[in-house]
């Protein structure tokens, strides 16, 4: 057990698609150094939330080489806007990319980042909710892994970030696909996920509709593609056909804003963990995105096991 207080930055997926990626919980020490806790199958996660409220995670600064750097909050201030203080929110260059294609303000570094190749994708989540989204070339696979998609298809490769966001808005306006699915909705859907075959059908139909729209558009600077995203192996226990209907799942019963928590990781989908509590054979879905911007200490803690009455059939 350690008394070091860490600021949680969230769940990230590193690695390559051919090795299934590597889900980690990224933590910031008081000295500003980062530590990553593996969230692979069979790993145990134990922590205590030691301070109330959320604290600023800093801001993103875009480099002229097309990369980005994370600048820590200078004052460690409370989070006012989502996971940022007012100052870091204003300095965050990443938020400007969403208005770039509409003539919004940009910086040299952000312009370089947006001028690289981007992909347009259609992603479907456990309950069938489907969205359209974009990813830069280097983050093509990882972005969908971090979002927790059940199945996804790339539908276009654009020459830059301006073109891909024009296409994204066009798909939302004409096909009706949303550009965001809430993290709480993703977690809820994992309690009773639809069959993997059904999710694939939903996604394939939506992707076909998008490709049909793209074939008719007058927008230049892209090509239509047909490529399926490779879901990480760490999510197989959540989405595999053989597991559907075999065992009930329950929402994690404890709020992550306070208290001591500890459980084993059975699977990961985005920021959602399929967890096993000590002394229980019940599966719980834990939305670890709720930990972002909170302060924790790591330790050999264990979550209290609730009295769960399984449904009888």
pLDDT band at 66 (very low <50, low <70, confident <90, very high): low
**Residue 160 DSSP SS3:** coil
Q: Give the pLDDT score at 104.
A: 58
Q: Which residues contact 27 (CB under 8 A, 6 or more apart)?
A: 6, 7, 8, 9, 34, 35, 36, 37, 296
**Average pLDDT over every residue of 90-97:** 82
81 secondary structure, DSSP code: B
Q: Is beta strand 44-49 parallel, antiparallel or unpaired with respect to 59-62?
A: unpaired
DSSP 136: E
Residue 9 has pLDDT above 60, yes or no: yes
pTM metric for this prediction? 0.89
Q: Please, which pLDDT band fits residue 118 given cuts at 50, 70 and 90?
A: very high
The proportion of the chain whose per-residue pLDDT surpasses 90, expressed as a percent, equals 69
pLDDT in tens, 159-186: 998 999 999 999 999 999 999 999 999 9
- Is the dihedral angle over the CA atoms 73, 145, 18, 164 positive or is it negative? negative
pLDDT, tens only, 181-192 = 999 999 999 999
The average pLDDT across 260-285 equals: 93
Bridge-based pairing of strands 249-251 and 283-287 is parallel
pLDDT at 63: 72
pLDDT value, residue 313: 37
C-alpha–C-alpha distance, residues 22 and 43, integer Å:
12
According to the model, what pLDDT value does residue 218 have?
92
pLDDT of residue 2: 61
Amino acid 233: pLDDT: 83
| Contact by Cβ (8 Å): 56, 293 | yes
Q: Are 292 and 83 in contact (CB under 8 A)?
A: yes
pLDDT digits (tens, 9 = 90+) for 199-243: 999 999 999 999 999 999 999 999 999 999 999 888 877 765 433
Looking at residue 312, what is its pLDDT?
A: 37
**53 phi/psi in degrees, rounded to 5:** 85, 180
**pLDDT at residue 244 is higher than 50:** no
Contacts of 49 (CB under 8 A, 6+ apart): 256, 257, 258, 259, 261, 291, 294, 295, 296
| Burial label, 186 (beta-carbon count in 10 A; 0-12, 13-18, 19+) | buried
Question: 262: which 2 tokens?
Answer: 């500890």
Q: What is the pLDDT of residue 105?
A: 62
Please state, rounded to an integer, the average pLDDT across all residues of the chain: 88
- d(CA 256, CA 252) in angstroms, rounded, equals 9
Percentage of the chain modeled with pLDDT above 70 = 88
């Amino acid at each position: 057990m350690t008394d070091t207080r860490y600021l949680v930055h969230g769940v990230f997926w590193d690695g390559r698609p051919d090795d299934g990626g590597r889900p980690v919980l990224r933590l910031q020490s008081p000295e500003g150094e980062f530590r990553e806790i593996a969230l692979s199958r069979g790993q145990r996660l134990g922590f205590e939330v030691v301070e109330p409220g959320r604290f600023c995670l800093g801001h993103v600064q875009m480099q002229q080489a097309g990369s980005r750097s994370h600048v820590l909050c200078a004052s460690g201030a409370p989070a006012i806007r989502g996971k940022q203080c007012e100052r870091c929110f204003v300095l965050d260059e990443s938020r400007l990319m969403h208005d770039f294609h509409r003539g919004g303000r940009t910086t040299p570094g952000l312009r370089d980042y947006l001028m690289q190749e981007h992909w347009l994708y259609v992603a479907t989540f456990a309950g069938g909710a489907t969205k359209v989204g974009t990813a830069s070339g280097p983050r093509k696979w990882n972005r969908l892994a971090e979002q927790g998609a059940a199945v996804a298809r790339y539908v276009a490769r654009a020459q830059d970030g301006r073109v891909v966001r024009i296409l994204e808005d066009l798909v939302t306006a004409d096909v009706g696909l949303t550009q965001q699915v809430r993290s709480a909705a993703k977690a809820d859907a994992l309690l009773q996920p639809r069959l993997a075959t059904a999710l694939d059908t939903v996604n394939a139909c939506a992707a076909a509709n998008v490709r049909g729209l793209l074939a008719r558009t007058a927008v230049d600077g892209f090509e239509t593609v047909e490529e399926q995203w490779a879901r990480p192996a760490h999510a197989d226990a959540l989405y595999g056909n053989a597991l559907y209907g075999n065992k009930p799942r329950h929402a994690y019963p404890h709020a992550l804003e306070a208290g001591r928590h500890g459980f084993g990781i059975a699977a990961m989908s985005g920021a959602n963990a399929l967890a096993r509590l000590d002394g229980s054979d019940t599966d719980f879905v834990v939305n670890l995105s709720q930990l972002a911007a909170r302060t924790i200490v790591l330790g050999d803690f264990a979550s209290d096991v609730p009295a769960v009455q399984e449904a009888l059939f």
